[in-house]
Structure 1
Amino acid sequence: MPHEGTPIGTVQALYRYPVKSTAGQAVRSCAVTGRGLLHDRGWAVYTDDGGIASGKRTQRFRPVPGLMQWSSLVEDDCGEPLLVSPEGLRFAAGDPAASGALSEAFGRSLELRPETTVQHHDETPLHLLTTSSLAALGNLTGAAVDERRFRANIILNTGAQPAFCEDGWAGAELALGNEVVLRLGPGMPRCVMIDQAQAGVTEGGKTLKLLGLHHRTEFGLQAYVQRAGTVRAGDAVSLR
């Protein structure tokens, strides 16, 4: 039976990033587990000091400029991810050749590893955006904004709902289709990565600055998995 609640739209797109900080994989459906979409950020590139390669520097992360020009995908949900170079060469994530190719390409020691006790997700297991807010940001920039720039997992088609409609959803539950229920957290803080180029997405110059001026440098919502299941593009979405 469908979840009860206030209808707010549908699932427009789903993205997972099998290797963190690489360009991701669009999928039509995906299992949702306690740690988010299946295979999402299950692997990451590690630097020689034990940091996780990223587009920024924090206690956990180390900047590796250009890593987002690589991509990753999973062809079989029972298999391990594939790392894909900008030239289209494919490497199984667990093959030492993948780490070797990365190290050679970036001129430094890099190693591909699966997640263990240190989580690969930046903030929360899931991150969602609404088309209403994407349109609002496009109005600020003067051009359509590519949703892939923000590396979210779930894009919600919220139709004619107002800009930044999700601002009032923190703390609520979001039901996706007939199975998955999320608990919504606060706004997702943004960083320099949203203006960096990635495979298929050109460099942006002022997105972060505009969000700082108009929306507290936040975009989209953080989310936690309340009930696991399978989510599909086209699923009805309701707020409760």
Structure 2
Amino acid sequence: MLVGHIKEMVRHPVKSFRGESVQQTKIMEYGLYGDRSHAYLDDTKKGNFLTITQFPEMVRYKAGFVGEESMEEYPKVKVMTPEGKVFDWRDQELIKEIENKSNRKISTIEYSPTHVPIGPIAVENILLATDASLDKLKELWGKDQVDSRRFRPNLFISLKDKVPFIEEEWIGRRFKIGTEVEMEFVGHCKRCMIITVNPENAERDSSLHKTVIKERNNNFGVYASVIKKGDIKVDDEVHLLD
């Protein structure tokens, strides 16, 4: 059953940095190719990743791959700072800037193109959201707009029938994207303070989180696990399977 099409695909080459919108990519066992494949570690808290929770301004740093996707090694990762400077993600000047702003000592970690463990990815392989749900949440919140980047979905689906939150009813079912990729909806996405951070200026507004808690039991978006890998692209059809 056709339920919609892929409106946007976003991967985050560096965990907690702003992601990059891509027109086509591969779906790996862990999700979108290169998603959260690079991360900064908070050495003041051994074993923890530096995230928006500790350093909200991370949402203003944009990370992207430069070059062709490869299974042997990742393309170079470039980072644009809020001031518009561009660095390699491991550049010491960039690291010093982040350390000074966050008041933390950090180091870097990089995973294989064929394997990113749960941890950087958080809970599941893929996070999805729909246009109808975002529009309804805007209405519930009472603001002029809700930036989808607050929720950091990998796949943003334009629904054929604009039924808000219908994706939550699909949990437990499988779906197909394009001609190759199959996934299964596996659970709700419980939200945290990250959605309160404005992606443009890193300012906080707790009213959005309060709205999601009150109106949606703190759920927005659904997680999916990868069943069959393959190539996907923007405008690919999304079919719910029997």
TM over 0.5: yes
Question: 2:110 aligned to 81, 90, 114, which one?
Answer: 114
Residue 38 (str. 1) matches residue 33 (str. 2): yes
Tell me, yes or no, if the aligned pair for 2:2 and 2:160 is still in contact at 8 Å: no
Gaps of 5+ in 1: 1-5, 57-62
For 1:88-237, what aligned pairs fall within 5 Å after superposition?
Answer: 88-115=84-111, 119-142=119-142, 143-199=144-200, 203-237=204-238
Q: For 1:205 and 1:64, how far apart are their aligned partners in 2?
A: 16
Offset from partner CA, 1:85-144 (integer Å, 9 cap, x none) = 211222223444443332234333112221476630121111000111111101112233
Question: 2:62 aligned to 56, 71, 89, which one?
Answer: 71
Q: What amino acid is aligned across from residue 137 of structure 2 in structure 1?
A: L
Residue 52 (str. 1) matches residue 43 (str. 2): no
How many residue pairs get aligned? The number is 229
Offset from partner CA, 1:139-190 (integer Å, 9 cap, x none) = 1122332111100100000143311101111111111111111111111111
**Displacement, 1:197?**
2.3
**Displacement, 1:218?**
0.5
* Superposition misfits of 4+ residues, deviation over 6 angstroms: none
Query: Helix, strand or coil: the match of 2:97?
Result: helix
Aligned twin of 1:59: none
Question: Greater shift after overlay, 88-97 or 155-164?
Answer: 88-97
Q: For 2:117 and 2:29, how far apart are their aligned partners in 1?
A: 15
Aligned twin of 1:22: 17
TM superposition score normalised by structure 2: 0.87
Tell me, yes or no, if the aligned pair for 1:103 and 1:111 is still in contact at 8 Å: no
**Displacement, 1:81?**
1.5
Q: For 2:10 and 2:85, how far apart are their aligned partners in 1?
A: 21
Q: Superposition RMSD on alpha carbons, in Å? A: 1.9
Q: For 1:201 and 1:149, how far apart are their aligned partners in 2?
A: 10
TM superposition score normalised by structure 1: 0.88
Q: What amino acid is aligned across from residue 120 of structure 1 in structure 2?
A: P
Gaps of 5+ in 2: none
Offset from partner CA, 1:54-113 (integer Å, 9 cap, x none) = 133xxxxxx123222212111213413222221122222344444333223433311222
Q: For 1:214 and 1:117, how far apart are their aligned partners in 2?
A: 33
Q: For 1:111 and 1:99, how far apart are their aligned partners in 2?
A: 8
Q: For 1:19 and 1:148, how far apart are their aligned partners in 2?
A: 15
Q: For 1:192 and 1:205, how far apart are their aligned partners in 2?
A: 8
Q: For 1:213 and 1:73, how far apart are their aligned partners in 2?
A: 35
Q: What amino acid is aligned across from residue 229 of structure 1 in structure 2?
A: G
Tell me, yes or no, if the aligned pair for 1:128 and 1:222 is still in contact at 8 Å: yes
Q: What amino acid is aligned across from residue 108 of structure 2 in structure 1?
A: L
